[in-house]
């Protein structure tokens, strides 16, 4: 039996519809709301350079984090005062989330981190194509691309936050 297609995310600012099927990674996380600061369980869908979230796996996503604008993803247990928590930071916003267990947290940090690296100017695929803002990481063409982690090199550049401690 095949699963019904998930409704797309509609960007309320631009009216652009983003396909959320064939996700690279997906599952439940609990996210701190931006305004009330309460914690809400949401279904997250990682696809290309975007992280969508919805109330359930079958509803249209009502929010999106553009990972091409993100600077870091890291553990945040102390900051959030929650076990298995992590943060995703942009120049404007820090998103606090937590997973059900430590393995899920590590899987999410790894998957989001790889997506951020693919968007950065320090990412170079084995074929020589360079990613970056304004490159393949931001256009609609990446929405259906499948990424092969084994076919990529991650630059150990001082500009890459994932290789600096």
Residue 125 binned pLDDT confidence (cut-offs 50, 70, 90): low
Mean pLDDT of 89-107: 97
49, 120, 63: which is closest to 95 by C-alpha? 63
Q: From the CB of residue 49, how many other CB atoms can be counted at a distance below 10 Å? A: 23
Q: Which residue has the higher pLDDT, 151 or 38?
A: 38
With tokens 């600012």, the residue in question is 13
pLDDT digits (tens, 9 = 90+) for 45-82: 999 999 999 999 999 999 999 999 999 999 999 998 99
Mean pLDDT of 32-55: 95
* The two three-digit tokens of residue 127, written as one number: 């074929």
CA distance 16 to 97: 26
144 phi and psi, to 5 degrees? -115, 5
Query: E strand or H helix at 103, and its extent?
Result: helix 102-119
User: Mapped to the 3 state alphabet, what secondary structure does 7-75 carry?
Assistant: CCEECCCCCCEECCCCCCEEEEEEEECCCCCCEEEEEEEEECCEEEEECCCCCCCCEEEEHHHCCEEEE
CATH of 9-160, one of 3.40.1360.10, 3.40.50.1700, 1.10.3720.10, 2.30.29.30: 2.30.29.30
Residues in the chain: 165
Phi-psi region of 20 (alpha: psi -120 to 50; beta: other; left: phi over 0): alpha
**pTM of the model as a whole:** 0.73
* The two three-digit tokens of residue 130, written as one number: 């360079």
């Amino acid at each position: 039996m095949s699963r019904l297609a998930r409704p797309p995310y509609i960007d309320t600012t631009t009216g652009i519809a983003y396909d959320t099927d064939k996700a690279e990674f997906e599952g439940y996380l609990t996210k701190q709301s931006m305004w009330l600061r309460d914690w809400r369980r949401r279904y997250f869908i990682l696809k290309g350079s975007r992280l969508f979230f919805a109330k359930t796996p079958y509803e249209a996503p009502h929010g999106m984090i553009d990972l091409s604008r993100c600077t870091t993803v890291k553990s945040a247990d102390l900051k959030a005062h929650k076990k298995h928590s992590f943060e995703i930071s942009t120049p404007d916003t820090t998103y606090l989330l937590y997973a059900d267990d430590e393995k899920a947290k590590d899987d999410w940090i790894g998957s989001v981190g790889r997506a951020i690296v693919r968007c950065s100017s320090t990412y170079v695929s084995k074929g020589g194509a360079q990613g970056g803002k304004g490159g393949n990481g931001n256009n609609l063409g990446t929405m259906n691309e499948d990424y092969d982690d084994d076919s990529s090199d991650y630059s150990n550049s001082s500009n890459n936050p994932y290789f600096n401690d």
